[in-house]
Every structure is written in structure tokens, then in C-alpha cells.
Structure 1
Amino acid sequence: MPLIEAQGLSVRRGDNTILTGVNFTIAPGEIVTILGPNGSGKSTLIRALIGLERPSAGAVRHRAGLRIGYVPQRLHLDAALPMTVRRFLSLPHRVSDAAAAAVLARTGVADLGGRQVVALSGGQLQRVLLARALLAEPQVLILDEPTQGLDQPGEAAFYQLLEEVRAETGTAVIMVSHDLHVVMRASDRVVCLNGHVCCEGTPEIVSEAPEYRALFGLGTGGTLALYRHTHGPDHVHDGCAHDHDHAHAHAHGPEAADA
């Protein structure tokens, strides 16, 4: 069976429907990106897959004994509270110095153990959060907008690191994003979400196409995405264009918040 499987998953909050009829699976060693505009329910889906959000309909199943590593979108720490990276790695359960050193080295921040967490840059913090998630030797890594706030070189380096971790450990990876720039190069499959799964398949970034280069000029700030969905003959479209191997262009405002 898949590591995680959701069938007919719906989530409501009061009178507001966040997700409707979502089917989702992830297999061992697979990297899947959940993509969608701000407010499309991506973070809600992640919380439901982890078990932090109770479905109003449908079900989520985990493989027996599944180990999950989670990298949140944001980490809120009191700036007045002193906490080194080494101490942070031992919350809530203490880990050995050897284990802490190993995961920090694996994520490329071996020299940060004595640094204060609140003093880290965005890229450093994401690598520390990833290191903490790896301590559990997860079978699935779940990352919610892991490169939010990073520049494009930082994004590329982080996704390259994820590919290396997957190759070395065999862990599956679920990533959440609203931007296909760079991230899709590290994905085996993309699920396009907008309150429901509108389409999914193996993505292809049209990196050499003039249209792609026009969208990803230096002035775009990475807020536009041109990509392709390739669907099998049995794929059911629901909310996306109906031609096969078709290109979509999305523009997302940076100020909106995801559900």
C-alpha cells in the first residue's frame, strides 16, 4: 500500500469548505509537489495528511508504523529566549551529540550547532528544520512552503539537498508550493490543488521555450509559473483545461495567505 493515502478527503470550517473530495497517495521514495494558488488549501491538506486536521468527509490512511518528518512553513520563537541550534535539535526528546552533528552535516550546516536559532538566516533555518526532521529517520518528509522567503539560488540549493537526501535515504518527500520555478526540477509528480485536485501528473518545465523565459525574467520575482501537465488516458479533469500536455500560466500575489 502507499505510505499515505487519502480518499474523498473534504475539510470544512464552519460554513467554509476548504477541500472537497481530494484523493492523494505517495509511494516510497517518491517526490510529490502539491501546487496551487494562495488560498487553495495546500496547508490544510498537509495538516490533514499528518493528522492535525480532522476531515469532514473521507479518510486518511498511513502505512503501519509510518515515520513522518515535518518541516513547517514558519517557526515562531521568542527572540528573547536563548536557544542554540544544538538545544533546539533535542526538543522535545534529547538526541546524542553524534546524531545532532550527523544531521547538521548532512544538511550542510555542520558549524551552526552553537548558534542561536533566532540569529539564523532564512536558508540556515530551513536547513536546521530539515535536520531536525531527519532525526526521526522518516519514511516521508513533509515540507510546507520550505523555501518561502529564499532567493532563487537559495531555492535551488535547498531542492538539490532534498534530492540528495532522497537518493541517500530513500525517504519520500511531499512538498507544498505555489511556485513552479526551480521546485519542479526536483519533483516526480505534481498535484494541482484549488480546493480540489484539478489535475495531476508528471510535470515538465519548459525551460528552453521563449514563453518560459519571458515569464521568468529577472523582474518577475518568481511569481509566475509556466508548466505542463501530462495525463494518462484515464485521467479525469476537474477544473483544468481539457487538452493533453497543455501549458498553464499562473500569477500569484505574494501578499495572500494560504488556507
Structure 2
Amino acid sequence: MSEALVQLQRVTVQFDDRPVVDQVTLQASRGDIITIIGPNGAGKTTLIKTILGIQKASQGRVSLAPGLTIGYVPQHLTLEATLPLSVRRFMLLSGQSLTDCRAALKRTGVDHLLDASVHHLSGGEKQRLLLARALARKPDLLVLDEPAQGVDINGQAALYELIRELRDELHCAVIMISHDLHLVMAATDKVICLNQHVCCSGYPADISHDPAFIETFGHQVAESLAVYHHRHNHSHDLHGDVVDTKGTQGACNHEHH
């Protein structure tokens, strides 16, 4: 049985006596990729902050494995525009060694940007930088809030593929929030549909048939997910361009059914 790293038992978070997260129970074990989906205002980011210890639960219990190391990828990178900051400096602010920082940047495909200004990075480069910063900690648990924010569709597919690879390499657990439902269904092991409370949860292949999922996202979305299959005969590079198995660029050939 896989080691449980995080357990939430009937967790409620209230603001002004109004429950933003209501009686949520979940468990993440090593090897899991759990994706939290739901409409705007559903409490997804609040739930993540509660797991991270940034937000205190009003009720219930949050249990973390002893000595747990967490790597966190926030939704946005907010920096003072007039503050000069290189990728190297940004990474070293994490408290990790330059060797570990370089290795993490290389693994996420942005080591060539070591001396670049963080302000001049593209959306995809920023997300990979944030992922590298979390990766440098060698986390047991990787927590990602909308990791593909600001990344184009092909770059999103490559990013989710990288997250799965990192899960395998680190044998960590992954909890992430996402709105990219089609891509998430191919990239996750379990889906939790949140709308303050847990509406439904389960395997991606099953969740689209759940009445609570259909009520939350509508029949059209549910039907499109039910018949969606995504197969690759290639890979994408950092910029979303197609690279075939021989390493040459070409046209994208996705098959959706």
C-alpha cells in the first residue's frame, strides 16, 4: 500500500461564517496525481492553501506525513516590475544550492535561461521556472495551482506530460488545480470535482458520467469528455512545437475521438 502523505478529514474553511470549503475529505499517497476541478469560486485555491498550511481550517483535520517536503507552484508569478531579477537569483532565493537549481532548470527545459531576466520570460517559460523552483526542493508532494496558466495548448500538453514524468522520477504525490479538462483527463489518476463540497470524485474515465459532474459542467462538456481520447505520435518542445521521435520538427498529429 502506498504511503499516505496528506489526509484531510471533514475540513471546513469559513470566511465571515460562510463556508468556502465545506466538509472535504481526501487523501494523497505517493504516486498519486489528483486534480481538483470546479467552477470559479468553488474553493479550489482555498483548499490548496489549507493543505499548504497558509490557510487554517475552521473545522476538521489536516494530517501531513512526518518530515514531508512540499514543492508549490502558484498560479501566477507576481514581481515588482522595476526590480531586476535573473532566473539564477530567483532560483537561489529558494534556499537551494546552485547545483540543485541548475539540475531542476535542466529537468524542466529552461536551463539555458539561467542568466535571463525573469521579467522577459514567456508564459510557458515562467511556468517551467516555477516548476523548477518547486522541483529543486526534491518534494514528496508537488502542489500546483493552475500549472498551465498562460501556456498555449501544445505547451500545456507538454507541461502535463512533464508533471507525470516528475511524479514517476520522484515517486511523489501531485495535487493540482486545473480548468483544462480535456488535457487533465489524460494526465491525472483521480479527479475531485469541488463546489465548496466534494460533488463527485473518481477515475477520469468515470467522472464524466457522474450526475453531479454533469450538473456542474453541463451535458456538452460531459459528452465531449466521455468520447475524448488523445494519442500522440510525437512530443512537444518548450514552445509547443512538434518534435517527432527523430528530434525533427513537423506537423502536429493528434487524434481525438
Query: What's the TM-score, normalizing by structure 1?
Result: 0.79
2:156 counterpart letter in structure 1? E
Q: How many residues in Structure 1 have an aligned counterpart in Structure 2?
A: 218
Paired position in structure 2 for 1:118: 119
Paired with 2:220 and 2:126, the residues of 1 have a C-alpha distance of 33
CA displacement 1:204-235 (0-9 Å, x = unmatched): 29xxxxxxxxxxxxxxxxxxxxx6257xxxxx
Paired position in structure 1 for 2:239: none
Do 2:20 and 2:43's aligned partners in 1 also have CA atoms closer than 8 Å?
yes
SS state of the match for residue 124, structure 1?
A: helix
Paired position in structure 2 for 1:249: 221
Q: Report the Cα offset of residue 34 of structure 1.
A: 0.5
Q: Confirm whether residue 188 of structure 1 aligns to residue 189 of structure 2.
A: yes
Paired with 2:129 and 2:94, the residues of 1 have a C-alpha distance of 15
Do 2:208 and 2:214's aligned partners in 1 also have CA atoms closer than 8 Å?
no
Q: Report the Cα offset of residue 241 of structure 1.
A: 6.5
SS state of the match for residue 175, structure 2?
A: strand
SS state of the match for residue 118, structure 1?
A: helix
Paired with 2:138 and 2:177, the residues of 1 have a C-alpha distance of 21
Q: Confirm whether residue 228 of structure 1 aligns to residue 208 of structure 2.
A: yes
2:22 counterpart letter in structure 1? T
Paired position in structure 2 for 1:162: 163
Q: Report the Cα offset of residue 240 of structure 1.
A: 5.2
Q: Report the Cα offset of residue 16 of structure 1.
A: 2.4
Do 2:190 and 2:202's aligned partners in 1 also have CA atoms closer than 8 Å?
yes
Paired position in structure 2 for 1:41: 43
Superposed CA RMSD in Å reads: 2.1
Paired position in structure 2 for 1:220: none
Q: Report the Cα offset of residue 156 of structure 1.
A: 0.3
Paired position in structure 1 for 2:28: 26
Q: Confirm whether residue 16 of structure 1 aligns to residue 18 of structure 2.
A: yes
Do 2:92 and 2:98's aligned partners in 1 also have CA atoms closer than 8 Å?
no
Paired position in structure 2 for 1:198: 199
Moved beyond 4 Å, runs of 4+: 239-242
Higher deviation after alignment, 118-127 or 160-169: 160-169
Q: Percent identity?
A: 47
Give unmatched runs, 5+ long, in structure 1: 206-226, 231-236, 251-259
Do 1:200 and 1:229's aligned partners in 2 also have CA atoms closer than 8 Å?
no
1:66 counterpart letter in structure 2? L
Paired with 2:113 and 2:86, the residues of 1 have a C-alpha distance of 9
CA distance 1:241–1:157, change in 2 (3 Å): closer
Paired position in structure 2 for 1:210: none
Give unmatched runs, 5+ long, in structure 2: 223-257
2:196 counterpart letter in structure 1? G
Paired with 1:14 and 1:195, the residues of 2 have a C-alpha distance of 15
Do 1:36 and 1:42's aligned partners in 2 also have CA atoms closer than 8 Å?
yes
Query: What's the TM-score, normalizing by structure 2?
Result: 0.80
Higher deviation after alignment, 68-77 or 9-18: 9-18
Paired position in structure 2 for 1:69: 71
Q: Report the Cα offset of residue 92 of structure 1.
A: 4.2
Q: Report the Cα offset of residue 179 of structure 1.
A: 2.9
1:249 counterpart letter in structure 2? V
